A and B are shown apart, each in its own frame.
Chain A
Amino acid sequence: MGDLLLEDVDDLEFPDDAHVTSTGISNEKLGMWVYLASDCLLFGGMISTYLIYKNRPGEIPGLAGNPNKVSEYFDIPFTSMTSFILLMSSLTMVFAVNSILRDDLSRMRLWLTSTAVLGGLFLAGQIYEFRIFVVNDSMGFTSNVASSAFFALTGLHGVHVVIGVIMLLSVLALSFGRRIRAEAVEVVGLYWHFVDIVWVLIFTIVYLIP
């Protein structure tokens, strides 16, 4: 990771050392791809858990806990809006990578900041949504299995977004004082796009499919 952020003055083109690896892809980028492949199964397991549990509270009579399904409280227009914000952050991320490839550091900082702000907005929306569920609808993490699975899944995604925002801000901070390699931005971008794509899946599977 450190290798990535460290600067190489002559080398802002990526893939800069591609010709020395056997695959032509740099170690850092390939490592991120392998990690993301692993992460797919993490989300796969969580999404499966939600799908198994989402209708349980209403279906099985005599269960302890809140008998309502968490999906009854979804505010689709609101979540659509925050989803749109998150998707737009992928666009700004593309611009950030594009800027650093053109060696335009100030533009890159602008787009990285925008990406982080959009990610932060999404997180704020998620916190607001959780608050409504817990306070207004008394549908908390422990209310029933469906709500537990819902909060675990969306919370896991939220943690991924938080880590992504921290990485964006770290790259931004490191871009002052020392110059960073284009590939650092690109690899963070890979992660960010992955988190967005996972949200598209979660939004479709959890929120839109009844």
Chain B
Amino acid sequence: MAIIEEHPPLELTTGGTTTTTAPDPMGVFARPKATTGWRSWVNTVDHKKIGIMYGVASFFFLLVGGVEALMIRLQLAVPGNQLLSADLYNQVFTMHGVTMVFMVVMPMASAFANYLLPLQIGARDVSFPRMNALSLWVWLAGAAFFNSSWLLGGGANGGWFNYAPNSGVAFSPGHGIDFYAVGLLIMGIGSTVSAINLTVTVLNMRAPGMTLMKMPVFTWMTFVTQVLLVFALPVITVALLLLTMDRMFDANFFNASMGGDPMLWEHLFWIFGHPEVYIMVLPAFGIVSEVIPVFSRKPIFGYPFMVGSGIAIGFMGWGVWAHHMFASGMGQLSMIAFSLSTLFIAVPTGVKILNWLATMYGGRLKFTVAMLFSVGLVGMFTIGGLSGVSHAFAPADTQQTDTYYIVAHFHYVLFGGALLGLFGGMYFWWPKAFGYFLGEKTGKWHFWLMLIGFNLTFGPMHILGLQGMMRRTFTYTDNQGFNTWNLVSTIGAFMIAVSLIIFMANIVFSYRKHRRNPVNPGPDPWDARSLEWMVPSPVPEHNFDEQPVVEEFDEFWHRKYGHDENGRLVRIAKTEDVVQLGDATGVHLPSPSYWPLVLALGFPLIGYGLIFNLWWAVPGTVLVIAGIYGWVMEPSTDPDAGHGHDDHGDDHDDPAAAAAELPGGSDSEAPSADVDGAPADDGELVTASTSASATTAAGDSAAPTGDDSNG
């Protein structure tokens, strides 16, 4: 067993939190104290609750986007259908696309990132807990704002990539595109804050010994995703700002008659848009890379290559954007360059597929629902990847652009890739997050129905596209030869809908069963490999009782299993002996706060102000400013708060008692602070009863930190 040191409370507040008397947070709000009920969710800064809220909200939007998808499929089920008007159809497919990209796949990946990332790196929380709450609320406010366009004159109707000049006032005089531009700007603020937060978390909050190349693959893929977001979001922000200025302040950035260039929008959008594709799919790759090793009972094959290919995808993703624009007439040299780079990016993706297969090869496979979804991803994403390679050839792509072949391709990568992986992740981590299993039998119905429905829906679209059916046409005539496959596709879409209903029923029935007969799945129900399985299910608010000291990749697995002299896998410790009990007391956690919510509520008001009447922006701006200053004046840790999940009440009155109880805390006045030989680590290495052990521990924990700063 490694040397265990006490985890210092969240390092955000340095010292003084238990002793100084911080002023009231502007005297507006009483410091929120609720730990149950809706208030505890509204004011929480706990990364796990925030992750769950991301999940719930994104699942709600999955249903919204799903209903829009069913409307599309109903309209196209038979030729000459009049169910939706052409204009309404434009709105429905645009809202479907934007909803699924920005309100389903991205936030659902955020749900997993928020919940799992601190756990997987052995941290107590993210680096900026209140900013984490802010990103959730800003995103949710932006999503609600965007969808409110349905009630305020109609949704956006320019397709999710919203090309100029169609997006200008001349061709789209309604407010739909305004909601698109401002809504995406607001959600972009939330995503940027979240990306900065999680990037810093991965870089800064790792447990001792958790070097970059010992991080789980999910953490790695999420890290790459966040870095991509950091650099991709400002590009679409520029594009959206230009569009907003065109539409609301009479600028002419995309107005060709004034010399504006519609191609500029295409370039800016796809410079963002292609990394965005990887932003959506890499987290699912990470999930699958966690699930497959566990149910193959083998370590991930070629870990460095798995990580390296993820990084390579992240870099190369910036050099392929113009393959979305082969039909735009941008010149032969560009076409050749982007054809080549697109072909190259298939290589690291292929490496991942082969590594998953190699991980399963020779393993003791166990096909739980999570594993089925993961294997489903490997298969379906391969199909989508292959049709993607066929787009890399510019001559073929000019033929396929804006046909259903493209629609088939990106649904195979985003539904068959991202969404199947996310569902697999839900089945896998559900017991960890909620303390009960989702039904395996019902889950298998969910999986098979979804897989078959998915292939019925999107498989025929390859054929339709190659036959020449254009995407985004609201209907077709009887004699075009599109009838059969469109009907099949609609039937498939309803099968997907049924599978989603089964999933929801699974949640309800599994929960009821759990309520009737509560059986805790235990910390490690799957005999898994990474650190989050070391803590009880559901995870206690303070995550780890003691901060784990990491020595190897798959640390938790290596604490359970070793090798005998013949190199065979043997158990070296019982699971019960290596997991934590979750009963630590006196853990300092960041206190809940209302300010992120206040700040976030200002943004949609500013948005309505920009669109309808600038006066609306006044209360919005006031909320934003009040939110920022209220936040700044409020200490991140309430000096009057108790310590962690078991409230210790008043011990903050006595700094010495607090320090003794909270050995090591962030309190630099702790008695153990001046252990000789380790002056630099004052207070952190708490349990040091002798100076000798303190020095050793200091050395041990300092070494990996030093290594990391170079890498």
Using a CB–CB distance below 8 Å, which chain A residues touch chain B? 1-3, 5-11, 16-17, 19-27, 30-31, 34-35, 37-42, 44-46, 49, 52-53, 56-57, 60, 63-65, 141-142, 144-146, 148-149, 152, 156, 170, 174, 178, 181
Task: Please list the 8 inter-chain residue pairs (A to B) with the smallest Cβ-Cβ separation, ordered nearest first.
Answer: A45-B238, A42-B234, A56-B259, A41-B234, A21-B204, A27-B127, A148-B251, A22-B206
CB nearest neighbor in B for A41: B234
Query: With the chains together, A40 CA to B206 CA distance in Å?
Result: 27
Q: A152 and B668: CB pair below 8 A? A: no
Is B635 a contact partner of A2 (Cβ separation < 8 A)?
yes
B16 at the interface (CB under 8 A from A): yes
Chain A CB within 8 A of B328 CB: no
Chain B 223-236 interface 0/1 with A at a Cβ cutoff of 8 Å (1 = within): 00000001111110
Tell whether B614 is near chain A: CB-to-CB under 8 Å.
no
What is the interface of chain B, defined by CB distance below 8 A to chain A? 8, 11-16, 20, 22-23, 127-128, 130, 192, 195-197, 199-200, 203-206, 210, 230-235, 237-239, 241-242, 245, 249-253, 255, 257-261, 264, 268, 628-629, 631-636, 666, 668-669, 680-681, 684, 702, 705, 708-709
Closest chain A CB from B244 CB (angstroms): 10
The answer to whether B705 and A24 have CB atoms under 8 Å apart is: yes
Whether the Cβ atoms of B204 and A16 lie closer than 8 Å is no
CA–CA, A7 and B127, complex, Å: 19
| Cβ contact within 8 Å between B251 and A31 | no
Contact B668 A34 (CB under 8 A): no
CA of A39 to CA of B230, assembled, Å:
9
Q: Provide 19 A-B residue pairs closer than 8 Å at the C-beta atoms, listed in order of the A residue.
A: A1-B631, A9-B20, A10-B15, A22-B708, A23-B708, A23-B709, A27-B128, A27-B204, A38-B230, A41-B231, A41-B235, A42-B238, A44-B235, A52-B261, A141-B250, A145-B259, A148-B253, A149-B253, A156-B241
The residue in chain B whose Cβ has the minimal distance to the Cβ of A33 is: B200
CB atoms of B12 and A142 under 8 A apart: no
B residues within 8 A CB of A42? 234, 237-238
A161 to chain B, nearest CB (A): 17
User: Which residue of chain B has the shortest Cβ distance to A21 in the bound complex?
Assistant: B204
Instruction: Kindly identify which residue among A2, A7, A10, A23 contacts B668, using a CB–CB cutoff of 8 Å.
Output: A10
Question: With a CB–CB cut-off of 8 A, which chain B residues contact A17?
Answer: 11, 14, 666
- Asked whether, in the complex, the Cβ of B252 is within 8 Å of the Cβ of A19, the reply is no
User: Chain B contacts of A35 at CB under 8 A?
Assistant: 192, 196
Choose among A10, A21, A63, A178 the residue that contacts B259 (Cβ–Cβ < 8 A). A63
> Are A45 and B197 in contact, CB atoms less than 8 angstroms apart?
no
Given A35-B192, A38-B192, output 8 extra A-B contacts at Cβ < 8 Å: A2-B634, A8-B668, A9-B20, A10-B16, A34-B199, A37-B231, A141-B250, A148-B245
Residue of A nearest to B15 (CB): A8
Contacts A24-B705, A152-B245 given; does A144 touch B11 at CB 8 Å: no
Instruction: Please give the distance in Å from A194's CB to the nearest CB on chain B.
Output: 14
Q: How far apart are the CA atoms of A146 and B234 in the complex, in Å?
A: 21
Q: Is the CB of B249 within 8 A of A8?
A: no
Q: Is the CB of A37 within 8 A of B230?
A: yes
- Kindly list chain A residues whose C-beta atoms are within 8 Å of the C-beta of B195: 34, 38
Residues from chain B with a CB closer than 8 A to the CB of A23 are 203-204, 705, 708-709
Report chain A residues within 8 Å CB of B259: 53, 56-57, 60, 63, 65, 144-146
Query: B696 to nearest A CB, angstroms?
Result: 16
Contact assessment for A20 and B20 in the assembled complex, using a CB-CB cutoff below 8 Å: no
Q: Provided the pairs A2-B635, A3-B12, A144-B252 are in contact, do residues A31 and B200 lie with their beta carbons within 8 angstroms?
A: yes
CB within 8 Å for A145 and B260 given contacts A27-B204, A31-B128, A49-B242: yes
A164 to B424, CA, bound (A): 45
The CA of A142 and the CA of B205, in the complex, are separated in Å by 48
A30 to B130, CA, bound (A): 16
Q: Are A27 and B11 in contact (CB under 8 A)?
A: yes
Q: Which residues of B contact A37 (CB under 8 A)?
A: 230-231
The A interface, classified by DSSP as helix, strand, loop or mixed, is helix
> B205–A21 contact, CB under 8 A?
yes
Please, how many angstroms separate the alpha-carbon atoms of A31 and B197 in the complex? Answer: 7
Task: State in angstroms the CA–CA spacing of A11 and B11 once bound together.
Answer: 14
Contacts of B197 in A (CB 8 A): 31
**Which listed residue, A2, A142, A146, touches B631 by the CB 8 Å rule?**
A2
Whether A7 contacts B20 in the complex (CB less than 8 A), given A2-B631, A24-B705, A27-B200, comes out as yes
Are A22 and B258 in contact (CB-based, < 8 A)?
Answer: no
A25/B204 contact (C-beta < 8 A), A1-B631, A2-B631, A52-B261 known: yes
Which residues in B have their C-beta under 8 angstroms from that of A53? 253, 259-261
Pairwise interchain contact B233-A141, C-beta atoms closer than 8 A: no
User: Among the listed A19, A44, A52, which residue makes an inter-chain contact with B684, where contact means beta carbons less than 8 Å apart?
Assistant: A19
CB pair A20–B8 under 8 Å, yes or no, is: yes
B205→A11 contact, CB < 8 A = no
Let me know if B238 and A6 touch, CB within 8 A: no
User: What chain B residues lie within 8 Å of A22 (beta carbons)?
Assistant: 203-206, 210, 705, 708-709
Chain A residues whose C-beta falls within 8 Å of the C-beta of B238 in the assembled complex: 42, 45-46, 49
Name A39's closest neighbour in chain B (CB-CB).
Answer: B234
- Contact between B251 and A152, CB atoms less than 8 A apart: yes
A17 to B13, CA, bound (A): 9
Give bound CA distance, A64 to B245, whole Å: 18
Decide if B127 touches A38 in the complex (CB within 8 Å): no
Most chain-B CB neighbours within 10 Å: which of A146, A149, A174?
A149
Specify which of A40, A63, A141, A146 is in contact with B257 (CB 8 Å cutoff): A63
Of B15, B233, B249, B634, the residue contacting A142 (CB under 8 A) is B249
Give chain B nearest CB distance to A8 CB in angstroms: 5
Partner of B251, one of A41, A60, A142: A142
Shortest beta-carbon distance, B77 to chain A, in Å?
Answer: 42
Q: Is the CB of A64 within 8 A of B231?
A: no
Q: Which of A9, A20, A52, A178 touches B11 (beta carbons < 8 Å)?
A: A20
| CA distance in complex: A3, B17 (Å) | 10
Contact residues in B for A170 (Cβ distance below 8 Å): 629, 632
Please indicate the chain A residues that have their CB under 8 angstroms from the CB of B631 in the complex: 1-2
Please indicate the chain B residues that have their CB under 8 angstroms from the CB of A26 in the complex: 204
Nearest-neighbour CB distance to chain B for A38, whole angstroms, equals 5
Residues from chain A with a CB closer than 8 A to the CB of B253 are: 49, 53, 145, 148-149
B504 to chain A, nearest CB (A): 37
- Contact present for B258 and A145 (CB under 8 Å): yes
A56 to B257, CA, bound (A): 11
Which B residues are CB-close (under 8 A) to A10?
A: 15-16, 668-669
Q: Which residue of B lies closest to A17 (CB)?
A: B14
Chain A residues with CB under 8 A of B249: 141-142
Question: Can you name the residue of chain A whose Cβ is closest to the Cβ of B633?
Answer: A2
List the A side residues contacting B210 at CB < 8 Å. Answer: 22
Give the CA-CA distance A105 to B140 in the complex, in Å.
Answer: 42
Asked if residues B632 and A144 are in contact (CB atoms below 8 Å), the reply is no
Contact in complex: A34, B196 (CB < 8 Å): yes
A21 to B8, CA, bound (A): 11
How far, in angstroms, from A25 to B702 measured CA to CA in the complex?
Answer: 14
Which residue of chain B lies nearest to A42 when distances are taken between CB atoms in the complex?
Answer: B234
Which residues of A have CB within 8 Å of B15?
8-11
Min CB–CB distance A139 → chain B (angstroms):
14
B684 adjacent to A20 (CB under 8 Å): yes
Closest to A20 in B: B11
Whether the pair B234, A38 counts as a contact (CB closer than 8 A) is yes
